[in-house]
Amino acid sequence: MLYETADDWLRAPRKRVLLFAMSGLGKTHVSRMLRDSGDWFHYSIDYRIGTRYMGEYIADNAKAHAMKVPFLRDLLMTDSIYIGSNITFENLAPVSTYLGKPGDPDKGGLAYGEYTRRQAQFRTAEIHALMDTGYFIDRAERLYGYPHFVCDTGGSICEWVDPDDPDDPLMSELSRNTLMVWIKGDEAHTGDLIRRFDRAPKPMSYQPEFLDRAWQGYLHEKGVEEESVDPDDFIRWTYAQALAHRQPRYEKMADRWGLTVAADDIAQVGTAADFDRLIADTLAAR
């Protein structure tokens, strides 16, 4: 690891950290807090995906819908209007809206083939965005003068790595450049995440093997055809399974390449100094 001891971390003139966990456990909250302290550059993987790697897909999808409206079609065909996504750190909805949900088109669902095509696009985009971490570490200091760097990852990082392979190329690259920190939730957090997701289900990205098993399992259990699937019901049904699927992957990633901190401890972090102390204490306890 970049920092082997608490003293290494506390004395480091340049702190570089990557946070990974399920969405909702504090990655973005802490990253924003560090950014607002003034000395930290906040690299959002989801923002990078939406602006650099999937921006054209998102805009083209919006244009495809606009082309179905004669009034808008005429304006587009004459270059009279411009359509683009207004993605920000605080509003990443264009990415999740593009990913979509599979099922009944009358309920906003996508055909499963189209859904998996977009999942594959997202996988490629997320891997590229993660591999850009080293470039942004250099850019943040060289261009903007930030000494410290936090990479705020998406929950699906664990889908694209092999946590049993010590030479996994993505994890090897990230661990060379950052201290990798897993924010671990407990059963209470899991229940809260499920309830929160149930109230407002949002698209997610999964490795193809897991997604295909979930899709076939759902069709069999519910006894429905693909075109009759309720999109929200499917992603709710899949989400609880995804938590169980991801937890051991996160744990292996942390054991091999980084640290584990409790979500409850992260929730108590209010300043950059608090964060420094939490990381130092975690290193000291290894």
Predicted pLDDT at 190: 82
The overall average pLDDT reported for the chain is 94
Per-residue pLDDT tens over the stretch 174-214? 999 999 999 999 888 888 888 888 887 788 899 999 999 99
Q: Going edge to edge, which strands form the sheet with 148-152?
A: 40-44, 148-152, 16-20, 179-184, 258-262
Query: Which residue in 14, 45, 275 sits closest to 157, CA to CA?
Result: 45
What's the confidence (pLDDT) of residue 267? 94
Tokens of 24: 């909702």
Choose the CATH number for 6-280 among 3.20.20.70, 3.40.190.290, 3.40.50.300, 2.40.400.10: 3.40.50.300
pLDDT at 202: 80
Residue 92, pLDDT score:
82
CA distance 224 to 221: 8
User: What pLDDT does 189 receive?
Assistant: 84
Q: What is the pLDDT of residue 201?
A: 76
- Under 8 Å between Cβ of 239 and 201: yes
- Quote the pTM value: 0.93
pLDDT of residue 134: 98
CA 194 to chain centre: 17
- CA nearest neighbour of 19 among 147, 192, 160, 155: 155
pLDDT of the residue at 213: 96
What is the predicted pLDDT for the residue at 23? Answer: 86
Question: Which parts of the chain have pLDDT scores under 70?
Answer: none
Q: Can you give the pLDDT at residue 105?
A: 96
What is residue 194's predicted lDDT score, i.e. its pLDDT? 87
